[in-house]
């Protein structure tokens, strides 16, 4: 018996092929010549296809793709058929502080696995309710009350560094920043450390989290090709089911344990202290238990991963530029008599320390890719330009922060650009920098809730390190460290540094100011 298409089958195939080709041609012509974003500059392929953007997602280089497009096409660029990116200063206000709020692009994040929204995924009234409930745990006052917990883990961090130095004078500082950030955020959010810093401990929590974040980021980029994202999600979730279930159980059991202890106000102050009376299933005020679980895990992941990247990147730039290490050491060592004096409050106003932290975040944003929002159907003026309704638009933090329209010598690490004129290291070259262009924590009602915590942790960590040690880069030729992949968050590679007790001379070789290679 012969198999094949009869006359009817052939006609159907021919008809189907012509229909598909006609649809593709019509769609291409529509997006290139008739779509409301047709006037915005951008590469030809991106006018009708998301392929270049998705390819950049899979390569972990979306920020580079967007930066290249800005360099080629200007401050506003069409990065995909329905999506724009901008590096205009006023866009911070017009997009992220718009009233009413512009929703996040719903296809730009992975839906919560337990079905309950988190701050990252919630929109509108649900987001506002959660944010109101959780905000008290992240205020200036809260940070002061959390100081003993932060202090405790920075002590453990220094003790661990001391133990490591008995084995070798060089160490991978990224690994220990990871343990530090996770132990702090663990204690603050579930009342328990992840015990990375103690003894000779090692664990794989950070790797597990990084894998989850990478999965979320890749799954999200497939979301416009339904059901591809579901297939991808299904495979990943099956492969990692056991490990995720164990991690989830650990976190939720710890929250239950912590909730049973009550607010503990007066004894210790963590993220749950102000939240405890507000956990209820009403959904009108406060937060439900499943929302609390999801938010806690999301914050642990966000808090430890981004902080690790930011601490490591800042250290990298600092050490690539010994003159900034000297200036920071001078400030820290002349401000304190002993290590116990160094805390989140006493470091708050150290100008050079703060300048180092700001410049580190400017040079290497931990989540460097665009923060997309949806323009309302009636359209909106953004940075003086009319953007049609339904368009997606966002600022790519790494692009705006390293844009020469805003910063002089933008790819070089110069903390001096953040100093006031009265400071002895103020540098005239940066007088006209648009510092407002660098908003690493974003702005508006969805800005980073954990910004104060990171800044406090970074101040104390750098001040303690510089108070106690002279630090150098181990591999002085490593000028490629920042060239890393970012699946939503940069995944830092090990950063080998050499630490010596303060005052012990080393063979330091002067180097140029560290810069980003593009």
List b or e across 324-337, with b for residues whose CB sees 16 or more CB atoms inside 10 angstroms: bbebbbebbeebbe
Q: Are strands 392-395 and 380-382 parallel, antiparallel or unpaired?
A: unpaired
CA distance 251 to 296: 8
Q: Shortest Cβ distance from residue 330 to ligand HEM (Å)?
A: 25
Q: Shortest Cβ distance from residue 442 to ligand HEM (Å)?
A: 4
Q: Cis peptide leading into 334, omega within 30 of 0?
A: no
Nearer to ligand HEM, 440 or 492 (CB): 440
Question: Binding site: residue ranges?
Answer: 448
CA distance 293 to 189: 10
Q: Shortest Cβ distance from residue 328 to ligand HEM (Å)?
A: 18
Nearer to ligand HEM, 301 or 322 (CB): 301
Helical H segments across 49-193, by residue range: 51-59, 62-73, 91-96, 124-135, 140-167, 173-190
Burial level of 49, CB count in 10 A (0-12/13-18/19+)?
middle
Total length of the chain: 518
Nearer to ligand HEM, 310 or 325 (CB): 310
Name the closest residue to ligand HEM (Cβ): 450
In 269-363, at which residue ranges do the beta strands (DSSP E only) sit?
none
Q: Shortest Cβ distance from residue 364 to ligand HEM (Å)?
A: 10
Q: DSSP readout, 262-293?
A: ---TTT---TTTTTGGGB-S-SSSSB-HHHHH
Q: Shortest Cβ distance from residue 225 to ligand HEM (Å)?
A: 22
Nearer to ligand HEM, 184 or 498 (CB): 184
Q: Shortest Cβ distance from residue 288 to ligand HEM (Å)?
A: 17
Any bridge partners for residue 76, and if so which? 86
CA 261 to chain CA mean position, Å: 32
| Residues within the interface to ligand HEM (CB under 6 A) | 119-120, 131, 299, 302-303, 306-307, 310, 361, 366-367, 371, 440-442, 446, 448-450, 453-454
Nearer to ligand HEM, 307 or 321 (CB): 307
Q: Shortest Cβ distance from residue 416 to ligand HEM (Å)?
A: 21
Task: Name the residue among 6, 32, 135, 218 with its Cα closest to residue 446.
Answer: 135
Nearer to ligand HEM, 119 or 272 (CB): 119
Nearer to ligand HEM, 119 or 466 (CB): 119
CA distance 246 to 256: 15
Nearer to ligand HEM, 210 or 454 (CB): 454
Question: Binding site for heme: residue ranges?
Answer: 448
Q: What Rg value do the Cα atoms of the chain yield, rounded?
A: 25
Q: Cis peptide leading into 494, omega within 30 of 0?
A: no
**Token pair listed for 438:** 């660098």
Task: Name the residue among 203, 197, 202 with its Cα closest to residue 152.
Answer: 197
Q: Shortest Cβ distance from residue 359 to ligand HEM (Å)?
A: 13
């Amino acid at each position: 018996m012969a198999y094949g298409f009869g006359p009817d089958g052939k006609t159907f195939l021919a008809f189907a092929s012509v229909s598909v080709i006609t649809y593709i041609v019509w769609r291409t012509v529509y997006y290139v010549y008739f779509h409301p974003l047709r006037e915005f500059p951008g590469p030809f392929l991106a006018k009708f296809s998301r392929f270049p953007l998705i390819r950049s997602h899979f390569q972990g280089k979306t920020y580079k793709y967007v930066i290249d497009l800005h360099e080629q096409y200007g401050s506003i660029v069409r990065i995909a058929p329905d999506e724009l990116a901008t590096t205009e200063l006023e866009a911070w206000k017009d997009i992220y502080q718009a009233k009413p709020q512009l929703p996040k692009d719903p296809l730009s994040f992975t839906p919560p696995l337990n079905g309950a929204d988190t701050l990252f995924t919630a929109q509108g009234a649900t987001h506002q309710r959660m944010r109101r409930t959780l905000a008290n745990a992240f205020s200036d006052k809260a940070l002061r009350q959390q100081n003993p917990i932060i202090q405790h883990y920075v002590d453990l961090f220094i003790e661990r560094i001391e133990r490591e130095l008995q084995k070798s004078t060089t160490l991978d500082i990224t690994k220990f920043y990871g343990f530090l950030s996770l132990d702090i955020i663990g204690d603050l959010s579930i009342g328990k450390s992840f015990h990375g810093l103690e003894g000779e401990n090692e664990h794989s929590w950070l790797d597990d989290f990084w894998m989850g974040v990478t999965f979320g980021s890749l799954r999200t980029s497939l979301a416009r090709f339904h059901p591809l994202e579901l297939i991808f999600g299904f495979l990943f979730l099956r492969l990692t089911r056991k490990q995720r279930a164990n991690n989830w159980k650990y976190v939720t059991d710890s929250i239950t344990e912590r909730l049973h202890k009550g607010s503990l106000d007066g004894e210790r102050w963590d993220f749950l202290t102000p939240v405890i009376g507000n956990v209820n299933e009403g959904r009108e005020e406060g937060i439900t238990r499943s929302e609390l679980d999801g938010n806690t895990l999301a914050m642990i992941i966000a808090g430890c991963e981004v902080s690790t990247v930011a601490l490591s990147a800042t250290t990298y730039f600092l050490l690539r530029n010994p003159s900034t290490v000297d200036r920071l050491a001078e400030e820290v060592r002349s401000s304190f008599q002993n290590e116990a004096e160094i805390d989140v409050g006493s470091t708050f106003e150290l100008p050079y320390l703060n300048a180092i932290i700001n410049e580190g975040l400017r040079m290497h944003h931990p989540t460097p890719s665009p923060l997309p929002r949806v323009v309302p159907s009636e359209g909106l003026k953004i940075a003086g330009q009319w953007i049609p309704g339904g368009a997606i638009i966002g600022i790519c933090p790494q692009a705006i922060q390293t844009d020469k329209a805003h910063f002089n010598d933008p790819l070089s690490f110069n903390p001096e650009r953040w100093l006031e004129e009265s400071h002895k290291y103020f540098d005239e070259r940066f007088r006209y920098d648009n510092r407002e262009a660098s908003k690493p924590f974003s702005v508006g009602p969805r800005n980073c809730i954990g910004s104060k915590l990171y800044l406090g942790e970074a101040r104390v960590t750098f001040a303690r390190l510089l108070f106690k040690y002279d630090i150098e880069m181990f591999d002085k030729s490593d000028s490629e460290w920042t060239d890393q992949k970012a699946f939503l968050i940069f995944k830092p590679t090990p950063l080998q540094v050499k630490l010596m007790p303060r005052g012990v001379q080393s063979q330091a070789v002067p180097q140029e100011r560290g810069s980003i290679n593009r």
